[in-house]
């Protein structure tokens, strides 16, 4: 199979836009990590709220960011390949690009402490040493990371005394403190708290839930997807995605059942917690692959999914703007409507914001080749290079 071309792939833009929308919906029903259930709701509304919460987290919780990670690796391959065919090495420039992404991520973290950009910026360094490895070696490294090696060490350590009581995850204390300044703090209190208390809590949470291993694995799988050209429209790729969809579904079903009913495992809490981290990680990756496979197959035959493409082409701008707008709507320093919105109303707000973002993206892209933050990132990435040497890069 031929490798991915250097031109923009429409399905990638649409898939990235789909991920942005699903992230927007999740962030809204979570009140941007400010978990609060308003009182006084009738029972029927509580029931609807619970169905919306469960349904969105089943579909997108732990999957949307994983799609982003996969596409992050894919984008790295495209940029690396573009320079490689010219006899240049992109890795040093990519390291600088990650430093810039860290800056964007820290800015975004001021508003939303759950920011993923800064996490990607650090873990993206894992792509540099594997960029020139053979695909088999890269796949092996990704597989080992997906196994969640540290969680297995915890299982082994807990096995002699599986029933011992465990303390709450350390991240919980940080999130508990965050709720206070989310509700009552000024904008400055939120920015300061998010960059200190919140950032530590989010890093700990990512470690506790195995994402520190999962994310670089997905980066590498995205890079391999780029090498194989699996997002190009061809009959061979349609067959690939059908096979992948079938295998992912077969893997997801047992993982999901195990994750949903851990009390039937017959093991103590000290063993069950790290095992649950492992199984949940595998379940999320399997369903993410189901979503990506289904989306890719539908995109080949129904180009209506290109409705997501403008958001995908401006994913960095869209992600940062939703953090600024969303926290200003829900947190106490802004409108403070966390007090009044359960998942139903928050979902309606999220859909409205997603539509507005999409229309803004369409308007902007008619006038500019990239989003505002994408343009800034691109120009700073290639600072010191002549326009002729970087004008074709995404």
What per-residue confidence (pLDDT) applies to 60?
95
Q: Is residue 105 part of a domain?
A: yes
Q: Is residue 95 part of a domain?
A: yes
Residues written for the chain: 394
Q: Is residue 284 part of a domain?
A: yes
Model pLDDT for residues 146-191, shown as the tens digit of each residue: 999 999 999 999 999 999 999 999 999 999 999 999 999 999 999 9
Model pLDDT for residues 89-123, shown as the tens digit of each residue: 999 999 999 999 999 999 999 999 999 999 999 99
**Would you place residue 394 in the very low, low, confident or very high pLDDT band (cuts 50, 70, 90)?**
very low
| CA distances from residue 158 to 150, 170, 341, 357 in whole angstroms, order as listed | 12, 18, 41, 48
Whether the predicted pLDDT of 386 surpasses 70: no
Instruction: Phi first, then psi: give them for residue 250, nearest 5 degrees.
Output: -60, -35
Whether the predicted pLDDT of 65 surpasses 90: yes
Q: Is residue 4 part of a domain?
A: no
Model pLDDT for residues 352-371, shown as the tens digit of each residue: 999 999 999 999 999 999 99
- Give CA–CA dist 67/370, Å, rounded: 21
- Give CA–CA dist 393/209, Å, rounded: 35
The Cβ of residue 261 has, within 10 Å, a number of other Cβ atoms equal to: 9
Model pLDDT for residues 251-262, shown as the tens digit of each residue: 999 999 999 999
Q: Is residue 58 part of a domain?
A: yes
| CA distances from residue 229 to 33, 80, 91 in whole angstroms, order as listed | 36, 14, 21
Q: Is the pTM of this model over 0.85?
A: yes
Q: Is residue 149 part of a domain?
A: yes
Q: Is residue 1 part of a domain?
A: no
Q: Alpha-carbon torsion 150, 154, 159, 162, what sign?
A: negative
- The residues, ordered by sequence, that sit 6+ positions from 350 with a Cβ below 8 Å of its Cβ are 24, 25, 27, 28, 29
Which percentage of the chain shows pLDDT scores above 90? 90
Q: Is residue 76 part of a domain?
A: yes
Q: Which of 35, 83, 15 is nearest to 338 (CA)?
A: 35
Model pLDDT for residues 314-356, shown as the tens digit of each residue: 999 999 999 999 999 999 999 999 999 999 999 999 999 999 9
Q: How many domains does the chain have?
A: 1
Instruction: Provide the domain limits for residue 127.
Output: 10-390
What per-residue confidence (pLDDT) applies to 342?
95
């Amino acid at each position: 199979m031929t490798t991915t071309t250097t031109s923009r792939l429409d399905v990638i833009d649409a898939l990235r836009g789909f991920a942005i929308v699903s992230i927007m919906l999740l962030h809204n029903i979570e009140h941007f990590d400010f978990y609060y259930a308003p009182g006084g709701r009738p029972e029927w509304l509580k029931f609807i709220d619970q169905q919306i919460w469960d349904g969105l987290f089943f579909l997108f919780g732990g999957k949307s960011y994983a799609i982003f990670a996969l596409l992050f690796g894919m984008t790295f391959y495209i940029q690396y390949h573009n320079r490689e065919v010219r006899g240049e090495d992109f890795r040093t420039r990519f390291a600088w690009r990650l430093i810039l992404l860290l800056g964007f991520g820290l800015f975004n973290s001021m508003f939303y402490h759950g920011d993923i950009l800064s996490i990607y910026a650090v873990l993206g360094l894992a792509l540099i040493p594997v960029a020139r490895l053979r695909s088999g070696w890269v796949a092996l490294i990704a597989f080992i990371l997906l196994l969640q090696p540290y969680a297995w060490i915890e299982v082994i350590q807990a096995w002699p005394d599986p029933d011992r009581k465990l303390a709450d995850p350390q991240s919980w204390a940080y999130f508990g403190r965050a709720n206070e300044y989310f509700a009552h703090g000024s904008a400055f209190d939120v920015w300061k708290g998010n960059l200190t208390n919140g950032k530590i809590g989010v890093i700990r949470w990512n470690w506790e839930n195995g994402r520190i291993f999962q994310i670089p694995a997905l980066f590498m799988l995205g890079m391999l997807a780029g090498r194989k050209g699996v997002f190009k429209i061809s009959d061979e790729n349609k067959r690939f995605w059908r096979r992948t969809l079938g295998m992912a579904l077969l893997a997801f079903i047992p993982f999901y059942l195990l994750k949903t009913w851990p009390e039937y495992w017959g093991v103590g809490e000290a063993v069950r917690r790290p095992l649950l981290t492992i199984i949940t990680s595998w379940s999320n990756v399997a369903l993410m692959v189901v979503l990506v496979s289904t989306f890719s197959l539908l995109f080949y035959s129904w180009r209506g999914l290109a409705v997501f493409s403008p958001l995908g082409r401006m994913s960095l701008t869209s992600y940062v703007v939703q953090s600024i707008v969303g926290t200003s709507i829900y947190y106490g320093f802004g409108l403070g409507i966390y007090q009044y919105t359960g998942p139903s109303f928050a979902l309606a707000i999220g859909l409205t914001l997603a539509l507005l973002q999409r229309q803004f993206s369409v308007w902007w892209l008619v006038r500019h080749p990239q989003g505002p933050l994408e343009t800034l990132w691109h120009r700073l990435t290639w600072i010191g290079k002549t326009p002729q040497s970087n004008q074709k890069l995404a």
